[in-house]
Chains A and B, each alone.
Chain A
Amino acid sequence: MTSNSNLSNMRRLVEQLKLEASVERIKVSQAAAELQLYCLQNAGKDALLVGVPTGSNPFREPRSCTVV
């Protein structure tokens, strides 16, 4: 009976929603501050963001060059 499988699906959906509703949450202001902190703490190592000293990014060197 399809109504039985609908019933099981609905029961599962309700259980899933109960689980999701019970998740512990923090305020966006706190979450955003922590995302920002992570960015700023790691900015120095981010080659695509700040660039790296010439010669230390292998992709920026043309293939045929050899470092003397």
Chain B
Amino acid sequence: PTDQTSIALFLCHPLHWPSLPAQRKYMRSPPIPEMATQEVQLNETLAHLKTESETLKTKLEEERAKLHDVELHQVAEKVEALGQFVMKTRRTLKGHGNKVLCMDWCKDKRRIVSSSQDGKVIVWDAFTTNKEHAVTMPCTWVMACAYAPSGCAVACGGLDNKCSVYPLSLDKNENLAAKKKSVAMHTNYLSACSFTNSDMQILTSSGDGTCALWDVESGQLLQSFHGHAADVLCLDLAPSETGNTFVSGGCDKKANVWDMRSGQCIQSFETHESDINSVRYYPSGDAFASGSDDATCRLYDLRADREVAIYSKESIIFGVSSVDFSLSGRLLFGGYNDYTINVWDVLKGTRVSILFGHENRVSTLRVSPDGTAFCTGSWDHTLRIWA
């Protein structure tokens, strides 16, 4: 189990679904013999629904299987194989006092925000490795952080069950904590957060099993997303050209695709054998990759509505904590709990490179906005820029 899973178990609240109106038909107060009959009726309806759901699940698998005429790597056989890769650590960012849990790039392709187990959130200039801002959160295990599209604010949260936004000041002496704005409130830890296309809305996922969309200015809940049966660990927004959807992954081994406006889950994929720690859209928006504690990464095509590739090797037995694509989608980078980064040829399904350097688990990995480098964060307290 990932460390996040251990935290979840430690903090476990029973999940409660939002309360639904009672089934009035069955709630009239009857004499006792009638009660027994109604109990029987309820059980029959329940059994009927169970059968219907089993039938639908089978039908879903059959429909998906009908279109499974070929494997992705077979289609890609004629594509030229990739050459040798020279990718090295180009910068090491030192300054966190404990495990780095999350990081995000600024749209300016040089600044980075990172968050740590010790409660610190740091903004770095990755070119120079200088620290530009630092904030100490009131909680430890800041599992999520994100840069605002404007570059003028960062969001973060973790064991405090909240997502807070800090406007970044040009004055480096200014106390950032003073301007902090609490935006999201969950009933369990915050596992991931992301601004949408603007600084005005934030999407969050939580150990409470839900995702939610919030208005930053008012802190109002705009939409909530229910459907995961356990902690939600990760989320990713579809590229803006593709419309208003996002994907989430959870401890229930499911990856769900959601309609942001309606709150509806529109597609669901359950092929992983353990927690899904990371999900990331393919650059065209037509597919997404996932990384799991089952030591595999997988690719799901949204229009074929199924898994189309598995990236795994018998020698890789440690969980994947985080995944991201290169700019063209040809390469998939995975950060693993065995301290390495594996680079996969997305089309052919083969591993093209393995990168060493970190001295503990890789916990977070993101490719820069223009695809010139990628950054990893690790339990070894450092971040590395690779190119």
Interface set of A (CB-CB < 8 Å, partner B):
1, 3-11, 13-14, 16-21, 23, 25-36, 38-43, 45-49, 52, 57-60, 63
Contacts and interface: CB of A to CB of B under 8 A. Distances in A.
Interface stretch (B59-67, B113-121, B186-194, B207-215): B59-67
Contacts, number: 189
B258 to A, nearest CB: 12
B303 A31 contact: yes
Given A5-B20, A28-B70, A28-B308, 17 more contacts: A4-B26, A5-B17, A7-B49, A16-B265, A18-B56, A28-B306, A34-B303, A35-B301, A38-B284, A40-B79, A46-B331, A46-B371, A48-B331, A58-B372, A59-B126, A59-B127, A59-B372
Contacts of B230: none
A5 to B, nearest CB: 7
A49 B46 CA distance: 54
Contact of A28 (B49, B282, B301): B301
Nearest to A63: B128
28 contacts: A10-B50, A14-B56, A19-B265, A21-B59, A23-B266, A25-B305, A28-B68, A28-B72, A28-B308, A29-B75, A31-B287, A31-B301, A35-B282, A35-B287, A36-B347, A39-B346, A39-B347, A43-B328, A46-B330, A47-B371, A48-B87, A48-B374, A48-B387, A49-B330, A59-B91, A59-B127, A59-B385, A63-B129
B69 interface: yes
Contacts of B50: 10
B350 interface: no
Contact of A26 (B59, B67, B87): B67
B210 to A, nearest CB: 15
Contact of B46 (A3, A18, A63): A3
Given A25-B67, A28-B72, A35-B282, A19 B266 contact: yes
A31 B68 CA distance: 10
A7 B211 CA distance: 24
A17 B303 contact: no
B319 to A, nearest CB: 24
Given A4-B22, A21-B63, A27 B304 contact: yes
B373 interface: yes
A12 to B, nearest CB: 8
Interface stretch (B1-9, B37-45, B97-105): B37-45
B72 A35 contact: yes
B304 A31 contact: yes
Contact of B70 (A5, A9, A23, A32): A32
Given A11-B49, A32-B75, A39-B346, A48 B284 contact: no
A9 to B, nearest CB: 7
Contacts of A9: 17
